[in-house]
Structure 1
Amino acid sequence: MCGIAGYYGTRELAPEALAKCLDRMGRRGPDGHGQVRRVIGGERNGYLLHSRLRILDLDDRANQPFARGGGHLSYNGELYNYLELRATLQRQGEAFTTESDTEVLASVLATQGVAGLDNCEGMWAFAWLADNGLLLCRDRFGEKPLYVFEDDTGVYFGSEPKFVFALLGRSLPVNLDHLRRYLVNGYKALYKTGDTFFSGLNEVRPGALVRFDRRGARQDERYWRPRFDVTDESMTFEDAVASARDALVESVRIRLRADVPIAFCLSGGVDSNALIAIAKRKLGFQVHGFTIMNTDERYEEREMVETSVAELGLRHTTIPVARQDFLSNLRRQISYHDSPVSTITYYAQWQLMKAVAEEGYKVSVSGTGADELFSGYFDHQNFYLQALAADPVAQAQARDNWQRVIAPVVRNPFLQDPDCFIKNPALRDHIYLDGDAFSGFLSPRWSEAFAEENYSRVALRNRMNNELFHESVPPILHEDDLNAMYYSIENRSPFLDRRLFDVCQSIPTRHLIRDARAKAVLREAVRGLAPDAVIDNPRKVGFNVPIFDYLDVADPQVRAQILDDGPIFEHVRRGPIADLIDKPDLPNSQSKFLFYFLNARMFLEEFGEEATA
């Protein structure tokens, strides 16, 4: 895990700009840095910068930019199947001087070009500079970030916006339209378009690459085109469980490869417990789990966590929700992220990463992606009922299970009707909940209708894939990456594995939920490994903290930090914010909006000297 940055164009960058960029890259790579400059085609300057966090082959010989076969590689990520790829390349006559995955990826690119990426399993953002130009590429699910900005001289790129700004010599204007999108529609709207929080700054798309030839001409390509609607309707539930278990075990196995210690994020849910149980009981890994321990009874998972720790024999560290210095800490987090924080969950997760770092770990493992691959959200239950329309008997049984298990706990008003999607398959009002009201908080009003991509004929599967590629997983990965990198930690997500994705796409929809238990296939795939109490617990919790648990709005100083003059009030009306903080309690949607407001306020104060509508 590292930081990358660079430039490809007609400019000659000043040494001061290069030094400033490398300095900003320090948290992503505290173990060394390097740079290379090449002149391509006689007129284009190519610069690659790299800061290294040593995970595999801790020797300096694996430092980057790494030269191989006439090209230079600056790479952020991990190639998890590098040992298998290395063996194949050696049989083809390639020799290696390091034990790193970096040299393997460089060898793949030098000998096979981008076609070789089809055999690569991992997470990455890389720049490959050779005589034919520059290649930028990002992993299939977008675990590793890669930002680009183009002007009339060329292209600037980097793992974080601040790296691009350092090379460019200036910051870019705040994208106010994207900020309004965040305020009104929330984090699930942030990756619906190609926008970022800065005008003109974009990201290389997951599963895609961008070429710039010797003349600087750009060409965009996709090297991975996931397949949808490929369910095998003859697959039994037992076959689905066996296939998922095999793929997940292999995914965890190769993601435990490291020359530094690995920690696990532990909750009371089946996702993290599945990974930990496989690591401990199937692969013999000595697991140290870390848990943010919530005191809010709506989100508290202590009993399940303690059950896992005892039954699996885990080393365990709990981190209490730290409420002191919330506003100053949040500002520090926003400043590092170069963006507002997606949800309050990721403010708490930032504190968890601090504890992981203090224990000496350089890698953390999290359960990102399980809900979207196996079905895990409350609305999936309602969509499942709609998906059973052709089998009225099964649908009636599923509805009875919903009434028994889900009805007592679901809070979203639209989802309290089990037949909401049977009555209206196009209903999506539950996703941007209260968006119309929040639009009225802005001056002028701003609104954007919900939209989704068409991935599947089955509404449930279509929702799951929209969540995976546009709504839930992209902002989660953004926060996972930055929270971990702030403390120089690499985050790994075993559920985001191509083989596992393909297996999950083949599973018939009817197998996804059983007895109102979402993720039915995943639960049974780790039966006998993870604790039965966790597997059989139907409760979907998720980590959350109400905003007033952090904000003492009775404190005049806190109130002043919220309501005093600032650039935010050029875009948000002060009155509705004062009304919110005067309420004794807030429903979840309003609690989220107040958190978004605080983030937007601080973001504008930190970055908003220039702004564009």
Structure 2
Amino acid sequence: MCGIAGYFGSRPIEPAAIRECLRRMGRRGPDHQATKSWSVDGDRNVVFLHSRLSIIDLDPRSHQPLEHDGRSIILNGELYNYVERRRDLAARGAKFRTDSDTEVLTQLLATEGWSALDRCEGMWAFAFYDERAKRLSLCRDRFGEKPLYLYRADGGLYFASEPKFIAALAGRPLRPNLNHLRRFLVNGYKALYKGRETFFEGLEELPAAHVLHVEARDEKLERYWNPGSAEKADMSYEQAVAGARERLVRSVELRLRADVPLAFCMSGGIDSNALIGIAKREFDFDVHGFTIVNTDARYEEQDMVDLAVRELGVRHTAIPVNPANFLPRLREQVRYHDAPVYTITYYAHQMLQESIAARGYRISVSGTAADELFTGYYDHHLAYLYEVRGDSALHAGSLKAWREHVLPIVRNPHLRDPELFVKNPQFREHIFMDADGFAAYLTAPWAERFAEERFAGRLLRNRMLNELFRETIPVILHEDDLNAMYWSIENRSPFLDRDLYEFC
């Protein structure tokens, strides 16, 4: 994981702006910083800046920008299956100067073009400049794990891992987007990624699973992967379990590849403990789990954490919630995030990352996206009851289990009704709940109705996919990335694996 920034356009970028940008990039990459620039046809300038957090091949030979045959790359992220892709290239005669995943990606793109991404598994945001074609290409991974911001101004295009880097290169602050701030205050975090707006005017993110090609007088945005949603009606329960397990095990195996120490974020839930169990039992990995603990009975999971630690035999560090210096810490977090902290959970999450970093780890592994892939939210239970309403025996058994195990812990009044979606499959008021009340605190009227994208025909599947691509996971990835990067840690999410997603 690293930090990247750059510019493509007619404006010369002053050395002082480059120095300031690199200074701001320091936490994303404390191990090495470098720049590269090109003057194109006397009227265009291309600038690359890179700040490296060394994860794979720690040798200076793997510093970036990295060049191959007139093509240069700056990468934030990891190509997890670089070992297999390197083997493919070597079989065709390719030679390598490094042991890095970045060089493998560079050679893949140089020899196979953009179709090579179809065989790449990883998380990434990168800039790729082809000197012969005079073309800049910007690319982001399938699920948007790694950020890449775009800002068109000053006769060109700025791009960077964080808004503050663009502001440094442009030499001026970005103007806050008050409409997006109102959206957050009224509708909450699930409204933030419904469209292309960000917390700054004119600033947008490159969409996940897209590549943007930029030339002197032309831009072309292309989607390189479409998330399918077709159901596999002929699959048995046993096949579903075995197939999901096989792919999750492989995903964890790939994400254990590193040349630096790796730790696990650990809760009392199934998601993180599935990953920890696989790492420990399948690969004999020396797992060290980190947990935020508190005394609030609504959220406390200590008994489940203790059970997992005991049964799996892993090392464990508990981090108590500490309210000391709350406002100064929150102020610093907001400053670094260039945005409000989306949920207070991520205030505690930063304490977790701080503890992981203090013990010498460079990578944290999290259970992000398990709920969205396998159903884990209260409204998922109700959507499931809606889906099985035609099978009286299955519905009765499911309703009995829901009343016994789920209802006692549900606080949202809408979600305490087991027939919520049976009565109205379009009901979504629980998502922007109390929006009118929040809007009443503003000095001017503001309202925006809930909308969702149609990914699939079934209610449950469509809700899960909206959460995965538009509502919940983009928020979590944003906070995960910035909290980890503040402490110079790379965060990895094994549930966000292409093969696992497409199977499930």
User: Taking structure 1 as the reference length, what is the TM-score of the superposition?
Assistant: 0.81
Distance 1:169 1:24 in 2: 13
8 Å CA contact 1:73–1:127 kept in 2: the answer is yes
* Mapped contact 1:139–1:206 kept (Cα < 8 A): yes
How far the C-alpha of 1:404 sits from its partner, in A, is 1.6
Q: Distance in 2 between matches of 1:315 and 1:40?
A: 54
Moved more, 120-129 or 395-404: 395-404
Question: Is the CA contact (8 Å cut-off) linking 1:77 and 1:123 kept in structure 2?
Answer: yes
1:195 aligned to which of 189, 194, 197: 197
Note the 1:203-352 alignment, pairs <5 A. 203-213=205-215, 215-228=216-229, 230-352=230-352
Match of 2:149 in 1: 147
Corresponding residue SS for 2:347: helix
- In the aligned structure 2, how far is the partner of 1:53 from the partner of 1:193? 31
C-alpha distance in 2 between matches for 1:165 and 1:318: 38
Q: 2: CA distance between counterparts of 1:497 and 1:45? A: 36
Whether the aligned pair in 2 keeps the contact of 1:154 and 1:216 (CA below 8 Å) is: no
Q: Which residue of 2 aligns with 1:481?
A: 481
Aligned equivalents of 1:69, 1:40: Cα separation in 2: 17
CA distance in 2, matches of 1:137, 1:40: 22
Tell me the alpha carbon deviations over residues 493-524 of structure 1, each in whole angstroms, 9 at most, x when there is no partner: 000000000111xxxxxxxxxxxxxxxxxxxx
- Secondary structure of 2:407 counterpart: coil
1:382 is matched with which residue?
Answer: 382
- Determine the structure 1 residue equivalent to 2:59: 59
Check the 8 A contact 1:69/1:111 in 2, yes or no: no
Q: Which runs of 5+ in 2 are unaligned?
A: none
1:271-319, CA deviations, whole angstroms, 9 ceiling, x for partnerless residues? 0000000000011100000000021001000000011111111111110
Runs of at least 5 residues in structure 1 that lack an aligned partner in the other structure? 505-613
Distance 2:108 2:172 in 1: 36
Q: Which moved more, 1:71-80 or 1:145-154?
A: 145-154
Residues in 2 aligned to 1:414 and 1:11: alpha-carbon distance in whole angstroms? 54
Alignment correspondent of 1:447: 447
Where does residue 178 of structure 1 map in the other structure?
A: 180
Count of residues paired in the alignment: 502
Q: Is structure 2 residue 433 aligned with structure 1 residue 419?
A: no
* 1:1-50 Cα shifts (integer Å, max 9, x gaps): 10000000011111111111111100000000111011234421110100
Given residue 417 of structure 2, which amino acid in structure 1 is its aligned partner?
D
CA deviation vs aligned residue, 1:442-476 (integer Å, no higher than 9, x gap): 11121111000001110000000000001000010
State the alpha-carbon separation in 2 of the partners of residues 316 and 139 from structure 1: 32
Matched, 1:169 2:171: yes
Deviations along 1:392-445, one digit per CA (max 9) or x if unpaired, are 321222112211221111111111110000000000001111111111111112
* Structure 1 residue runs of 4 or more that deviate by more than 3 Å after TM superposition: none
Give, in whole Å, the separation in 2 of the partners of 1:448 and 1:41.
Answer: 47
Measured in 1, the distance between the counterparts of 2:432 and 2:403 equals 25
- Residue in structure 2 matching 1:137, options 136, 139, 149: 139
Mapped partners of 1:232, 1:126: distance in 2: 34
Q: Please give the alpha-carbon distance, in whole angstroms, between the structure 2 residues aligned to 1:272 and 1:476.
A: 15
Question: In 2, Cα distance between the equivalents of 1:39 and 1:111?
Answer: 25
Identity %: 56
- Counterpart Cα distance in 2 of 1:68 and 1:322: 49
Any idea what SS the aligned residue of 1:336 has?
Answer: helix
- Aligned counterparts of 1:168 and 1:120: Cα–Cα separation in 2: 33
SS at structure 1 position matched to 2:385: helix
Give the alignment's Cα RMSD to 1 decimal: 0.8
Q: 1:234, CA displacement in angstroms?
A: 1.4
Letter in structure 2 aligned against 1:97: R
For 1:42 and 1:224, how far apart are their aligned partners in 2?
Answer: 36
Distance between the aligned counterparts of 1:159 and 1:205, measured in 2? 13
Which is worse superposed, 146-155 or 191-200?
146-155
More displaced 10-residue stretch of structure 1: 332-341 or 399-408: 399-408
Q: How far apart are the structure 1 equivalents of 2:161 and 2:217?
A: 21
Q: Specify whether residues 425 and 359 from structure 1 end up closer, same or farther in structure 2 by C-alpha distance, changes over 3 A only.
A: same
Give the Cα separation in 1 of the matches to 2:54 and 2:159: 22
Looking at structure 2, the residues matched to 390 and 101 of structure 1 have their Cα atoms a distance apart, in angstroms, of: 50
State the AA in 2 paired with 1:261. P
Equivalent pair of 1:388/1:395 in contact (CA under 8 Å): yes
Displacement, 1:352?
Answer: 0.7
SS of the counterpart of 1:346?
A: helix
Q: C-alpha deviations, 1:336-374, integer Å up to 9, x for none?
A: 111110101000000110000000000000000000001
CA positional deviation for 1:152:
4.9
Q: Structure 2: which amino acid aligns with 1:181?
A: R
**Alignment-mate amino acid for residue 342 of structure 2:** S
Q: TM-score, normalised by structure 2?
A: 0.99
